[in-house]
Amino acid sequence: MRHLIDFGDLPREEWDALYTRASQIMDAPEQFVDVCRGRVMASLFYEPSTRTNFSFQTAMLRLGGTVFGFADPNSSSTAKGETLKDTIKMVSGYADVVVMRTPWEGAARAAALYSHVPVVNAGDGGHMHPTQTMADLTTITRLLGKADGLSIGLCGDLKNGRTVHSLIKAMAKFQDVRFFLISPRELAVPDYMRVFLQENHMRFTEVTGLEAVIPQLDMLYMTRIQRERFVDPLEYERNKGVYVLTRRKLERAKKHMLVMHPLPRVDEITVDVDDDPRAVYFEQARYGMFARMALLADLANQPRLDRTPAVEIGVRPVCRNPRCITQTQPYLPPLVKQNGGVDCCAFCDGALE
Ligand code: CP
């Protein structure tokens, strides 16, 4: 059973095939209106969303399929205490593909253990967001003609920004990429991402200032400070509004630099930037729909599993990350992976006890 949990799991040739398919859909959408006829997508969004939720729904509808889900997670039986395992067992009996967003890091990987159909991670807490990366890569490739050889600025909350983590994983599949990681020190990329950058021999420079590096960039990826992820409200107050891209700052940027943003934006790009031809964040959101169509055309047409493989039963959470799915679903197996030679939680990449 194929799932999309972490972009790092996707071989480069599979991404190339998805991009080719997304381009074909963009160029001749009428040829794809029946690709998912009779297929059903479950849309499980336990966190707010505009782009990911609606673009997945419209993607499935444009392919001739149908969609079900809840508008409010409190109207599902999760609110009565149903486990993730039981929810997924049920939903994967009704649907051909499950798209899920949760505040719990590693939840999509956990769901995939029990699902009879493909699971797509539509964002798991501050961890990963692989289909946003599909939107990002589609935008870069369509507008710049390549994703190799780029200098990329990632700016904002790089600690909690799941889109940033997934994009770094993706860019490891391309040649000669250089990152400028622009963030306050307390919102720098998590250790597991720094280890990933080092293990993949990726060039990166961590800086706190945007203006000094902007002239070097081929693409600037702005992100918001993720208020909902802060345990300490004072930490948010210290960091909110720290980076604001304005027309004046753009004057020093390359003529063809792309300004991207996964959205939603709060205050980190002034509205007058929207009319600059380099600002492509609304196109980026639309490209995301076509990329998701390519993904659904593949995953929703896979044969379902009659039985899922047996899964070892855990006895207690072993992960120290308070936002890891193992904290609320203690039956999960204690899956371990290596990051930089150190054992880590295979669900959320967090440190183990
Ligand atoms: N980019 C993104 O994930 O947006 P939503 O939260 O609106 O889905």
- Locate the ligand 1 atom nearest the alpha carbon of residue 262 and give its number: 1
Is residue 51 part of the annotated active site? The answer reads yes
Q: What is the pLDDT of residues 27-55, one digit of tens each?
A: 999 999 999 999 999 999 999 999 999 99
* Residue ranges in the chain whose pLDDT is less than 50: none
What angle (nearest 5°) sits at the alpha carbon of residue 131, between those of residues 323 and 78? 45
Catalytic choice (39, 62, 116, 129): 129
Show Cβ contacts of residue 1 under 8 Å, excluding neighbours closer than 6 positions.
Answer: 112, 115, 116, 117, 118, 302, 305
Mutate to test the pocket of ligand 1, among 102, 121, 132, 223 (most ligand atoms within 8 A of CB): 132
CA-to-CA distance for 127 and 105, rounded, in angstroms? Answer: 6
Pocket flag, ligand 1, residue 132 (CB < 6 Å): yes
Q: What is the pLDDT of residue 104?
A: 97
Token pair recorded at residue 103: 């505040």
Q: What is the 3-state secondary structure (H, E, C) of 178-200?
A: EEEEECCHHHCCCHHHHHHHHHC
Q: Alpha helices, DSSP H only, in 116-219?
A: 130-144, 162-171, 191-199
Predicted pLDDT at 87? 97
- For residue 287, the model assigns a pLDDT of 98
| Ligand 1 atom, smallest distance to 55 CA | 8
Catalytic: which of 3, 52, 162, 261? 52
pLDDT of residue 318: 82
Q: 49 CB less than 6 Å from ligand 1?
A: yes
Q: Which residues contact 62 (CB under 8 A, 6 or more apart)?
A: 29, 32, 33, 289, 293
Known catalytic membership, residue 101: yes
Residue 278 designated active-site: no
Of the candidates 238, 7, 227, which has an alpha carbon nearest to the alpha carbon of residue 138?
7
Q: 299 in ligand 1 pocket by Cβ < 6 Å?
A: no
Active site residue 52: yes
Q: How far is the CA of 52 from the centre of ligand 1 (A)?
A: 5
Determine the pLDDT at residue 90: 97
CA–CA dist 103, 78 (Å, integer): 13
